[in-house]
Amino acid sequence: MCTALAYKTKDFYFGRTLDYESSYGEEIVITPRQYPFAFRNGAKCNEHYALIGMAHVAGGYPLYYEAVNEKGLGMAGLNFVGNACYGKEKEGKDNIASFELIPWILGQCSTVKEVRELLEKINVTNLAFHESFPVSPLHWLIADEKETITVEAVEEGLFVYDNPVGVLTNNPPFPQQMFQLNNYMHLSPKQPKNLFSERLKLQTYSRGMGALGLPGDLSSASRFVRAAFTKLNAIATQKEEDSVGQFFHIMGTVEQSKGCCEVKEGAYEYTIYTSCCNASKGIYYYTTYFNHQINAVDMHEEDLDGKKVVVYPVLQEETIHYQNKTQKD
């Protein structure tokens, strides 16, 4: 399970949790403007917007899980098992393999408005990057600082939904996720009033009772509600550290602890990493399951006019800052 989030304070932040039982070997990858993207439909793109995000690099090619571009547009792919449906190539369409969708869109669009236009021409195809890679069944969250959309390629075609919540998880399809929010409209950060019965003297015996009923389990439907409620009520100042911190706190509500979600005998899904990219400034912050320190890579520290991808390893080692440790040497 994964959760993706678009969050605006002074700047615009975009990121995700990556929940799975094993890693595909991801790194923080900056693709500069002149990295030559050769798409499977024959299109070549030797000049495009620069990208930063998490990717598995295969033969020098960045297979992005999520990324933002230098214009502040973000896009993340999340599992959509049993619903994602990619077809064969269609004449008269921009045929884009699912693994190419992030570079195709982030390479040439600066806003969601432009993405909507591009999507009208796109047919998402089921070509694999290589026979040794599975085709991932995904749906996508795409956002700029003004608006967010969800894109789902299903049997009936390609659907683009306005996403006023700025959250995406996994199944069920997005319209159902939105509909189920109706069940939770009574939740509030304020303490509840007794509407149960005037004949009973009911009390608010604890703080936080306005959110009683917020689902606490790990299913994607419940994580959607929990992330939506937290995001829509979370308050942050305009300061960078505060905004980034608040982003990680929101994501903390949907984080998965190892051992709580068994996917097969002895294998457990857990939050491998959490990312929060300041899309306005091109800074990619992340934590991992094993390393709670927030680390960051700034795309503008690199030569964005280069041709080769720049790769930073994911730092996995936990650093604990002792406040009273005696220096031994």
Name the minimum Å distance from CB 97 to ligand TCH: 8
- Catalytic status, residue 261: no
Number of Cα atoms under 13 Å in the Cβ half of residue 328: 0
What distances in angstroms separate CA 32 from CA 43, 86, 303, one per listed residue? 18, 29, 7
Q: For residues 26 and 145, which CB has a smaller minimum distance to ligand TCH in the complex?
A: 26
Write down the residue that tokens 């006023």 correspond to.
164
Beta-bridge mates of residue 276: 15, 285
Write down the residue that tokens 């689902």 correspond to.
215
Rounded to whole angstroms, how far apart are CA atoms 172 and 155?
14
Name the minimum Å distance from CB 189 to ligand TCH: 28
Strand order in the sheet with 12-20: 167-168, 2-8, 12-20, 270-278, 283-288, 295-298
**Can you read off the two tokens belonging to residue 57?**
């690099």
Q: For residues 53 and 236, which CB has a smaller minimum distance to ligand TCH in the complex?
A: 53
Name the minimum Å distance from CB 252 to ligand TCH: 17
Rounded to whole angstroms, how far apart are CA atoms 229 and 188?
8
For residue 230, how many other CB atoms are within 10 A of its CB? 21
Name the minimum Å distance from CB 161 to ligand TCH: 18
Given 2, 109, 276, 277, the catalytic residue: 2
By CB under 6 A, name the binding residues for ligand TCH: 1-2, 18-20, 24, 56, 63, 65, 77-79, 81, 99, 129, 133-136, 138, 170, 220
Name the minimum Å distance from CB 126 to ligand TCH: 10
- Give yes or no for a contact between 140 and 115, defined as CB atoms under 8 angstroms apart: no
Q: For residues 18 and 309, which CB has a smaller minimum distance to ligand TCH in the complex?
A: 18
What distances in angstroms separate CA 290 from CA 33, 60, 151, 264, one per listed residue? 33, 27, 32, 22
Buried b (16+ CB within 10 A) or exposed e, 299-320: beebebeeeebbebebeeeeee
Name the minimum Å distance from CB 328 to ligand TCH: 42
Residue least distant from ligand TCH (Cβ)? 79
Q: For residues 270 and 285, which CB has a smaller minimum distance to ligand TCH in the complex?
A: 270
Q: For residues 212 and 267, which CB has a smaller minimum distance to ligand TCH in the complex?
A: 267
Nearest CA to 148 among 160, 162, 138, 168? Answer: 162
Q: For residues 19 and 70, which CB has a smaller minimum distance to ligand TCH in the complex?
A: 19
What amino acid positions are annotated as catalytic residues?
Answer: 2
